[in-house]
Amino acid sequence: MARRAGVSRATVSYVLNNAEAVRISEPTRRRVREAAEELGYVPHAAARSLRAGHTRIVLLPTPHVPIGPLYSTFLNELQWALRRLDYTVVQYGSLGLSGDEAVRAWAELRPVAVISLGEITLTSHNVATLKRAGARAVITMGPVGVPGAHALVMDQQEVGVRAAAHLVERGRRRIGVVVPREQGLELFSAPRLAGARAVAGAEVEALPMAYTEESAAELAARWRGLGLDAVFAYNDEYAMLLMRALQDEGLRVPGEVAVIGADDLLVGRLLRPRLSTVRIEMPTGDHLASLVDHAVREPSEVTERHDLMAAEAVHREST
Amino acid sequence: MARRAGVSRATVSYVLNNAEAVRISEPTRRRVREAAEELGYVPHAAARSLRAGHTRIVLLPTPHVPIGPLYSTFLNELQWALRRLDYTVVQYGSLGLSGDEAVRAWAELRPVAVISLGEITLTSHNVATLKRAGARAVITMGPVGVPGAHALVMDQQEVGVRAAAHLVERGRRRIGVVVPREQGLELFSAPRLAGARAVAGAEVEALPMAYTEESAAELAARWRGLGLDAVFAYNDEYAMLLMRALQDEGLRVPGEVAVIGADDLLVGRLLRPRLSTVRIEMPTGDHLASLVDHAVREPSEVTERHDLMAAEAVHREST
DNA sequence: TTGAAAGCGGTACCAG
DNA sequence: CTGGTACCGCTTTCAA
């Protein structure tokens, strides 16, 4: 590239980066630009960041399973927001890697920030490794903070609390809580169950169920024997499935059993009775992105905790 | 790191990469490993790939909008499959960039493969730029191939064909086709509409509609004036929304109007009548990943075309 | 068995 | 205004 334009590598660098510090003559600039165009020359990101000593990579560990529309939308937004701030988003799947192995693999990329959603539980040693490797921000989202990391608390427990409290308010006592049989959802389902258990006046029973019609029908078939008068069904999708199965079994909703979901999906309003739900106020992707950006530029305020998630019960017709 | 263990950088490299070619004494290996552990040393991926002359990056341009559960699941699977083959997946959002700018930005990362889903339409010049930058495989997924790229044909048009043909078979003629008002879905909706238009015996009318209850109600309110006896509603989510609105308007489904969706979502079976749909046979993530892997190792067979998507109508109760 | 040194492709300093 | 050069961290050849 350099000799194609008949100049030195240094000059090429100056021209292509519009360096202010040095003055390059107009004819030279033109020659360089033309040569670059002609050769389809594109600078090499690895070489650049090697020299610079840092990258603009934000590492986002990939969830093991699809997490539902609410969360996907949030992640998608987050990616776009980071892009706009000129970060490069790297999705990194870590299935089959132990926590330490995964962290080492991440550190190889020298990300400037890591946003861990909880697929892997970070230790403070892990956080230290990442920081030594150049990470200026390590952000964990989950119920519990990690020393040395920024904690963005998104407390799923609150969802369970709101659901159970809503049912109790409406006079229900014996509450079933659906726990998905699908692997990888424990991160969400366990705190939601725990939240429901924490509500005074609720007698909670965990009900494993898979996201299939068969599993829902099987649960509905033995419903009368369970002696429950309400169910919090993990989220709207499981709730819809179970509500239908209960109705097919001849049970009246909400008469004999109240049903509430979570996520406030539009489709929940299409069933009859309309599904009651817990609306979750997710932080916007822009918001989290700017938090990340801030943490990268100002890594001083390390242990700050931000509470980001709010939840409220929405009464419709199924409770 | 090197002097921490009292050896040279070369020795460190040998030990950490388990180099077969050279024999290192066991005591030395141990010293190196211990020092690495102690310092939390992790090799620098950029330096490594700079030296190696190539990366294991697979670049995946991010869709502008969430694309629906079927597609998200596919993308998620694809990422995991690529990970298992030891590739690093980089999601790259290109909003606000022109095609050429986006391609240059991608090329900077020197990806070994690019899987373009169609957010950006690649020219053969773009493909050439990527290949010069080291891409051994450029894969496009969409209705049309690009010279020089591997084309994985996923013909959305087939979905429209199957839906309309199913309706015609069942004696319907005047068919409405819902076209989402949401930006970024044209990639899918336009071919689906075109497919429906191509079916003999179908008189097709395009019906713009947003994914909101208001928009569905508005469309349902003027339904009788449209003189249609069937509707293909883009996908199951739009179909459910519209079917409910039509029922609320007092129209009998399927008596007065047949409704069919696409994607075969589980929730479609929860409404009454159960929603007819077009089931789409997506390629598995593993399949595409191994195709990518093969293309990377054997870049010779460049212009091969693979047809990957099949679709069939599933009759339930709404048609 | 180990070390010295070259070189990957950029950037930035200093000299001319 | 432009070129030479050192250096970022790693791999790999060649010598010792």
Measured distance CA(B266)–CA(A31) in Å, rounded: 61
Do B12 and B30 meet the contact criterion of CB atoms below 8 Å apart?
no
Q: What is the per-residue pLDDT for B27?
A: 87
Measured distance CA(B71)–CA(A159) in Å, rounded: 28
Chain A: closest CA distance from residue B98 (Å): 14
Q: What is the per-residue pLDDT for A285?
A: 92
Q: Which residue is nearest to nucleotide D13 (CA to C1')?
A: B10
Do B174 and B258 meet the contact criterion of CB atoms below 8 Å apart?
no
Find, in chain A, the residue whose alpha carbon is nearest to that of B242. A270
Chain A: closest CA distance from residue B222 (Å): 20
- The percent of residues above 90 in pLDDT, for chain A, comes to 66
Q: What is the per-residue pLDDT for A67?
A: 79
Q: What is the average pLDDT value for chain B, to the nearest integer?
A: 91
A213 in reach of chain B (CB within 8 A): yes
Best of A58, A65, A83 to substitute, by most chain B Cβ atoms within 10 angstroms, is A83
Joined tokens for residue A123: 């230790």
Segment B159-178 shows an average pLDDT of 98
Q: What is the CA radius of gyration of chain B?
A: 26
Segment B97-125 shows an average pLDDT of 91
Which residues of chain A lie closer than 8 angstroms to B62, CB-CB? 76, 79-80, 83, 89
- Tell if B22 CB is < 7 Å from nucleic strand C: yes
Do A259 and A253 meet the contact criterion of CB atoms below 8 Å apart?
yes
B76 in reach of chain A (CB within 8 A): yes
Segment B242-268 shows an average pLDDT of 97
- Tell if A3 CB is < 7 Å from nucleic strand C: no
CB neighbour list of residue A29: distance below 8 Å, 6 or more residues apart: A15
Find, in chain B, the residue whose alpha carbon is nearest to that of A268. B267
* Nearest CB partner across the interface for A40, out of B69, B92, B129: B129
Report CA(B9)–C1'(C3) in Å, whole number: 9
CB neighbour list of residue B225: distance below 8 Å, 6 or more residues apart: none
Find, in chain B, the residue whose alpha carbon is nearest to that of A89. B91
Q: What SS3 string covers chain A?
A: CCCCCCCCHHHHHHHHCCCCCCCCCHHHHHHHHHHHHHHCCCCCHHHHHHHHCCCCEEEEECCCCCCCHHHHHHHHHHHHHHHHCCCEEEEECCCCCCHHHHHHHHHHCCCCEEEECCCCCCCHHHHHHHHHCCCCEEEEEECCCCCCCEEEECCCHHHHHHHHHHHHHCCCCEEEEEEECCCCCHHHHHHHHHHHHCCCCCEEEEEEECCCHHHHHHHHHCCHHHCCCEEECCCHHHHHHHHHHHHHCCCCCCCCCEEECCCCCHHHHCCCCCCEEEEEECCCHHHHHHHHHHHHHCCCCCCCEEECCEEEEECCCCC
Q: Tell me which residues from 5 to 34 on chain B have a beta carbon below 7 angstroms from nucleic acid strand D.
A: 9-10, 12-14, 16-17, 19, 21-22
Q: Tell me which residues from 126 to 165 on chain B have a beta carbon below 7 angstroms from nucleic acid strand D.
A: none
Residue B178 amino acid letter? V
Q: Comparing C-alpha atoms, which of B79, B93, B212 is closest to residue A66?
A: B79
Q: Comparing C-alpha atoms, which of B237, B196, B195 is closest to residue B216?
A: B237
Q: Tell me which residues from 46 to 85 on chain A have a beta carbon below 7 angstroms from nucleic acid strand C.
A: 47-48, 50-52
Residues shown for chain A: 319
Q: Is the pLDDT of residue A318 over 90?
A: yes
Measured distance CA(B139)–CA(B135) in Å, rounded: 10
- Angle between helices B9-16 and B26-39 in degrees, nearest 10: 90
A1 in reach of chain B (CB within 8 A): no
- Tell if B123 CB is < 7 Å from nucleic strand D: no
Q: Is the pLDDT of residue A66 over 70?
A: yes
Relative to beta strand B277-281, strand B310-314 is antiparallel
pLDDT tens for A75-95 read 889 999 999 999 999 988 887
- Which residues 246-275 of chain B have a CB within 8 Å of chain A? 266-267, 269-271
Segment A136-160 shows an average pLDDT of 83
Measured distance CA(B87)–CA(B80) in Å, rounded: 10
Distance of CA B68 to the CA centre of its chain: 10
Q: Helix-strand-coil percent breakdown of chain B, rounded to 5? A: 40, 20, 40
Q: Is the pLDDT of residue A4 over 70?
A: no
Q: Is the pLDDT of residue B224 over 90?
A: yes
pLDDT tens for A108-142 read 999 999 999 877 888 999 999 999 999 999 988 87
- Which residues 33-52 of chain B have a CB within 8 Å of chain A? 39-40, 42-50
SS3 B311: strand
Q: Which residue is nearest to nucleotide C8 (CA to C1')?
A: B51
Element (H, E) at B153: strand B150-153
Q: What is the CA radius of gyration of chain A?
A: 26
Q: In which band, very low, low, confident or very high, does the pLDDT at A69 lie, cut at 50, 70 and 90?
A: confident
Instruction: Note every long-range contact of A240-243, with CB atoms under 8 Å and residues 24 or more positions apart, other chains counting.
Output: A240/A267, A240/A268, A240/A271, A240/A275, A240/B267, A240/B270, A241/A211, A241/A213, A241/A216, A241/B266, A241/B267, A241/B270, A242/A178, A242/A209, A242/A216, A243/A271, A243/A275, A243/A318
Largest CA distance in chain B: 87
Q: What is the per-residue pLDDT for A261?
A: 98
DSSP assignment of B79-128, as one string? HHHHHHTTPEEEEE--TT--HHHHHHHHHHT--SEEEE-SSSPPPHHHHH
SS3 B177: strand
Q: Which residues of A194-228 are buried (b: 16+ CB within 10 A; e: fewer)?
A: bbbbebeebebeebebebeeebbbebbeebeeeeb
- The percent of residues above 70 in pLDDT, for chain B, comes to 96
Q: What is the per-residue pLDDT for A212?
A: 97
A104 in reach of chain B (CB within 8 A): yes
Q: Tell me which residues from 287 to 316 on chain A have a beta carbon below 7 angstroms from nucleic acid strand C.
A: none
Segment B130-155 shows an average pLDDT of 84
Joined tokens for residue B14: 């040998």
A194 in reach of chain B (CB within 8 A): no
Q: What is the per-residue pLDDT for A279?
A: 97
Q: Is the pLDDT of residue A14 over 70?
A: yes
Segment B166-192 shows an average pLDDT of 94
Q: What is the per-residue pLDDT for A68?
A: 80
Q: What is the per-residue pLDDT for A95?
A: 79
Measured distance CA(B306)–CA(A135) in Å, rounded: 41
B95 in reach of chain A (CB within 8 A): yes
B23 in reach of chain A (CB within 8 A): no
| Strand C nucleotides, any atom under 7 Å to a protein CB | 1-5, 7-14
